[in-house]
Copies of this chain bind each other. A is one copy, B any other.
């Protein structure tokens, strides 16, 4: 019965994916749009939702639940942050109501194991879906890694997000590639150099000193730009993969979920395996659909 259908959207800085879903999460229709909030002007996201996205999915008068950076100052409205620990109940209770038929999921705020605050916006929905899709995750500790520009490592305890740590590996790589004396502008494309960087990422010493070896080899040995970029990518991911898991209690032999773009999974899976972790890839799209379906059922008036 189409009366129970709703519109769901994963609306981030760079990407926008929207679905028309049944009350049980069945996908009736789906679309991609080139309107990550990072490319929109203020006010434009709300207009796009009304004029383009709802009509494209025949969802002019259906409830809509959106997640991601659409809930920030760049998007439709600032949806705020709920506090950890948080599961489906806390996220549903903190849904931000934009208008009669539009809701945005809240971000989450936590205190990290190192005592510092951290924030997340968008990934909390994927983690909720990941939890929902596998009942084994309802008890005990589980960790999900979502690599990216601001990659997230999320510790789930007894079915709720307990805390998380952001690792800005992607941004650091981009900033160093584009604006530093290290391999300016080159594209990583050398698996052997990536693997070498990965191993060096686990070595002792300040990152700023290990980073400089990229420059020293370009100047002293004529290391080519693509190899330098691959080594740099491996070094940064290796630093993350070797140093972050222990902070979330992961020891060699432990299982970690991994969710993200295929291009990143291909870099992170070997990095995590090299640290003795068992990697279980997880489907981000299925997770968003499961989470928004759950939130619709418990948090949004029918």
Contact = CB atoms under 8 A, between A and B. Distances in A.
Contact of A209 (B165, B216, B217): B165
A118 B166 contact: no
B208 A236 contact: yes
A14 interface: no
A93 interface: no
A216 to B, nearest CB: 5
Contacts of A209: 153, 165-168, 240, 243-244, 247
A51 interface: no
Interface stretch (A96-104, A109-117, A262-270, A279-287): A109-117
Contacts of A215: 150, 166, 168
A163 to B, nearest CB: 12
A210 B114 contact: yes
Nearest to A114: B203
B171 A180 contact: yes
A139 interface: no
Q: Is the interface of A mostly helix, strand, loop or mixed?
A: helix
A243 B165 contact: no
A23 to B, nearest CB: 34
A5 interface: no
A207 interface: yes
B244 A206 contact: yes
A54 to B, nearest CB: 29
Nearest to A149: B181
B206 A239 contact: yes
A119 interface: yes
Interface of A: 81, 109, 112, 114, 116-119, 150, 153, 165-169, 171-172, 175-176, 178-181, 200, 203-213, 215-217, 219-221, 236, 239-240, 242-244, 246-247
18 contacts: A114-B203, A114-B205, A116-B200, A117-B216, A117-B217, A118-B212, A118-B216, A119-B216, A166-B216, A168-B181, A168-B209, A172-B180, A206-B207, A206-B243, A206-B244, A207-B208, A208-B236, A208-B239
Given A116-B217, A175-B179, A206-B207, 11 more contacts: A116-B200, A118-B213, A119-B219, A168-B180, A168-B212, A169-B208, A172-B180, A204-B246, A205-B244, A206-B239, A208-B236
